[in-house]
Structure 1
Amino acid sequence: MDMGLTLIHWTYVLFIFLIIGFMVKRLDTTILCIVGIFLVSFIAHPSLPNAISNVFNSFIYAITELLPTILIICIIVAMSKSLTATGIHDTMISPFAKLIRTPTLAYWITGILMMSISYFFWPSPAVALIGAILLPIALRVGLPAMGVAVAMNLFGHGIALSGDFVIQAAPKLTGDAAGIPVHEVIQASVPLVITMGVVTTFTAFFLLKRDLKLGKISVEHPSANNAQTHGQLLSKKTNIIMAAIIPLLFIIDIFLMFKLNLQGSDATALVGGTALFILLAIALLGHKRKGLEKTTSYLVDGFQFGFKVFGPVIPIAAFFYLGDAGFTTIVGDYLPQDSNGIVNDLGAALSASVPLTKEVAAVTLTAVGAITGLDGSGFSGISLVGSIAKIFAASIDGSIATLTALGQIAGIWVGGGTIIPWALIPAAAICNVSPFELARRNLLPVGIGLVVTTIVAIILM
């Protein structure tokens, strides 16, 4: 590599490899990220108090950058809980139940509905929204609980979460790390998300049908325990009206996004504001005099969920923000005068010394994305793939957006809830199946999907 790289650069590279190694070993990376931030800061400016302070400052920087994303998730989850408590989600989904007549329809309707709701509510809340309603229906027509779990997993935690076209949390993380706008990541990810989604869902469906014929999977019979009852918080008429208005409001949001060209933080703010007003309306209508207290209660639940999900992301995001504009803000102007940031410097050095091809770059991004997903988060490592995509794109003069989207898809499909057993718990729990068995059933479809998607990415580059 270019010998102009400093000890700061080499230390940063060392910790990137250490973080990957920790993820492969399924070890938590929080302490490693903190140590990395401390050492990079200390090497840049040898002052112990300053280096210690910069660790804290890096967390503030990361939280500031991630706050809109964290906030939208908190509000969406809070709204989802109010929908569940009032039974509105039952009414919203009930028309689809009339369409489910066969196991095939049960698989695809469950999956497509899960994907549609996940784009707005994210998969974990969506599992709670539709699982308890559609599971008994699917069992009644002959689709086993494992098939329901697979459909919800692949369509929700796979397709919807890896693309994340509405809330845009994932493309914002990868786009920030890669130094490109959110809309470029989304645009590049569309054909890859479609490819990955089609390959995995059809493969899983055919394997499921095969095992049903061979008797490897048994169909359970629905019981009364599957039913979920709600208190009469709303009248039937009000429930139906709200169930119609809520999807309409989000459809209007999507129309406004296209009409007003709202993307990234602007689109997130529109969805978040809409969800917040829906939450207020439901709480006041459903709980009457207790509406004020219940609004706060729902929000508290949402914030607990949001920070629990994004807590592991903050330390690793703080470390990777050092690789770009965050270095000057957090540490200070201690890089060489001709430096364009640690990651850009590494990209220039790599492009000058290591001959890469499109094929090698694409395969590497898929592998790194999958490895970073091994922690079961799906989000904690996608900042890394964005940074690596930036390095590789400079080296091969290829599409940084395509590489970034590819790494994002691999990371979220593996870690977001389709392969890692402890990330599968919501869908596995609602369907009463083993998360380890669900992970094993997803492994082959997801593996085939990643191979095909990587090939498509190479062609698009």
Structure 2
Amino acid sequence: MLFRRDTTIVCIVGILSLAAFSTLSVSDSITSLFNSFTFAITQLLPTILVISIIVAMSKILTISGINEVMILPFSKIIKNPTTAFWTIGLLMMIISFFFWPSPAVALIGAVLLPVAIRAGLPALGVAIAINLFGHGIALSGDFIIQAAPKLTAEAAGIPVGDVIEASIPLVFTMGLVTTISAFFLLKRDIRLGKDFPTVSTSSPTEETDHSLLSTTTKKWLAIMIPIIFVIDVILMITLNLQGGDATALIGGTALLILIFTTCLAHKKRGLEESTNYLIEGFQFGFKVFGPVIPIAAFFYLGDAGYYDIVGHYLPETSEGIVNDLGVALANIVPLTPEVGAVTLTGVGILTGLDGSGFSGISLAGSIAQLFSTAIGVSTATLTALGQVTAIWVGGGTIIPWALIPAAAICGVDPFELARRNLLPVSIGLVATTIVAMFLL
């Protein structure tokens, strides 16, 4: 990862090595490799499914123009660079909680970028706000869809709810420190009259077909859809739905909205178009999680998936490979909560270097379990710290090749955007790591 090389082959070699050492059989080792992928896909499938459905739903909302109607009232609030930055950021965060940042980037950028520029906020400032609030705060917490905490919780062997609860102070510490730092640095540069270069780039947004729905219908749907999701959130709280149950509720709701909206918009072609949107959603989901599956397959060997993958039991005295390593490490190196927090932050940064915030968070969960066993501190807090760090770094805030969607929609250079985000994100990481030390 330090050399920006793909880790898939390394993980496959790791699976083969562990299987060969356990089974002493070439055929069983090769079988274990396939089994590991099957096990990982089985574990990840609910997460892949809900993301695919949400992206498919977002596509019809964008094409039909419903998304534009949802956003339009907020354009009246934007009067100056300050209101532009915080309005765009907070709106991006809210939408990203429900739809994930990927579809929200195109929506926010297409509708509010011209408004923000007229208010005096440069395009680079819009890109910074979109990145930090969407790919930073919303994605690192992922409180609604719960894809990220589910991955880290499974790797750490703890309930999803524990990770979410532990991540709340870390997510908001990171978010507040980073966004405030970025805002003041941006305001300073605007005041000093610094140049904010833009580049010519084509917009990746979908073309809106205003003929699909009437203005009145779009307004009603723009009101009802957020209300429906708010009802989902209320149900999660009142019925104490977490993890898979919460994901299923959001996914089922998104699927119903997708079908209803598509049939309403495309009428006689509604049945066929619903299938097309679902296909595009699944293509997106497996494209995003394609690199995650072999990596997760390796990390699942650390505990829960060992027998299912290899077909052999660990020794009776074993508490799982990861826990065993933690106990062994505790006997060799004097570890402290402070060392554990710094290490998890470092792991998060390293795993994020590949530009995919999700490919390494299973590793963060495994190492959090290792250190918590060795030190005797909160597994959930360490897991949440690794998750927050990995997604802030790799999810699209300081890695140039992960910034391309936001940079493209705003017409700025992704390397310039990464450079601008680097200092605020670094300040946030230091502050969040210190807070985590006290929470341990």
Q: Judge same fold: TM > 0.5, yes or no.
A: yes
Task: Give the conservation status (yes or no) of the 8 Å contact 2:157–2:304.
Answer: no
Task: Give the conservation status (yes or no) of the 8 Å contact 1:89–1:130.
Answer: no
The one-letter amino acid paired with 2:287 is: K
Q: What's 1:49 paired with?
A: 27
Q: What's 2:360 paired with?
A: 381
Q: What's 2:296 paired with?
A: 317
Q: What's 2:101 paired with?
A: 123
Structure 1 residue matching 2:311: 3-state secondary structure:
coil
Q: What's 2:261 paired with?
A: 282
Deviation at 1:331, TM superposition (A): 0.6
Deviation at 1:111, TM superposition (A): 0.2
Tell me whether 1:247 sits opposite 2:235 in the alignment.
no
Structure 1, gaps ≥5 residues long: 1-22
Deviation at 1:336, TM superposition (A): 1.7
The 5-angstrom pairing of residues 190-339 of structure 1 reads: 190-218=168-196, 229-339=208-318
Give me the whole-angstrom Cα distance separating, in 1, the residues matched to 2:184 and 2:394. 24
Give me the whole-angstrom Cα distance separating, in 1, the residues matched to 2:368 and 2:435. 16
Tell me whether 1:342 sits opposite 2:321 in the alignment.
yes
Deviation at 1:334, TM superposition (A): 4.0
- CA deviations on 1:319-369 (whole Å, 9 max, x unpaired) are 000000100111123422211111111112122332101111101110110
Moved more, 272-281 or 347-356: 347-356
Task: Give the conservation status (yes or no) of the 8 Å contact 1:45–1:334.
Answer: no
Structure 2 residue matching 1:24: 3-state secondary structure:
coil
The one-letter amino acid paired with 2:311 is: G
The one-letter amino acid paired with 2:178 is: T
Residues 74, 229 of structure 1: alpha-carbon distance in 2 compared, 3 angstrom cutoff = closer
The one-letter amino acid paired with 2:57 is: M
The one-letter amino acid paired with 2:211 is: Q
The one-letter amino acid paired with 1:231 is: H
Deviation at 1:229, TM superposition (A): 4.7
Give me the whole-angstrom Cα distance separating, in 2, the residues matched to 1:452 and 1:424. 23
The one-letter amino acid paired with 1:385 is: A
Q: What's 2:137 paired with?
A: 159
Give me the whole-angstrom Cα distance separating, in 2, the residues matched to 1:348 and 1:446. 33
Q: What's 2:17 paired with?
A: 39
Q: How high is the TM-score relative to the length of structure 1?
A: 0.93
Give me the whole-angstrom Cα distance separating, in 1, the residues matched to 2:264 and 2:314. 57
Tell me whether 1:107 sits opposite 2:89 in the alignment.
no
Deviation at 1:126, TM superposition (A): 0.6
Tell me whether 1:394 sits opposite 2:394 in the alignment.
no
The one-letter amino acid paired with 2:382 is: L
Q: What's 2:405 paired with?
A: 426
Give me the whole-angstrom Cα distance separating, in 1, the residues matched to 2:196 and 2:19. 58
Residues 30, 151 of structure 1: alpha-carbon distance in 2 compared, 3 angstrom cutoff = same
- CA deviations on 1:99-135 (whole Å, 9 max, x unpaired) are 1111100000000000000001110111112210000
Q: What's 1:97 paired with?
A: 75
Q: What's 2:394 paired with?
A: 415
- CA deviations on 1:265-293 (whole Å, 9 max, x unpaired) are 00000000000000001100100111111
Residues 278, 390 of structure 1: alpha-carbon distance in 2 compared, 3 angstrom cutoff = same
Q: What's 1:6 paired with?
A: none
Of 145, 163, 169, the residue aligned with 1:185 is 163
Give me the whole-angstrom Cα distance separating, in 1, the residues matched to 2:107 and 2:436. 34
Supply the RMSD in Å over aligned alpha carbons.
1.8
Task: Give the conservation status (yes or no) of the 8 Å contact 1:80–1:129.
Answer: no
Task: Give the conservation status (yes or no) of the 8 Å contact 2:64–2:208.
Answer: no
Q: What's 2:416 paired with?
A: 437
Deviation at 1:24, TM superposition (A): 1.2
Give me the whole-angstrom Cα distance separating, in 1, the residues matched to 2:204 and 2:388. 33
Give me the whole-angstrom Cα distance separating, in 2, the residues matched to 1:325 and 1:268. 21
Structure 1 residue matching 2:234: 3-state secondary structure:
helix
Identity level (%) = 68
Give me the whole-angstrom Cα distance separating, in 2, the residues matched to 1:77 and 1:226. 15
Deviation at 1:46, TM superposition (A): 1.0
Q: How high is the TM-score relative to the length of structure 2?
A: 0.97
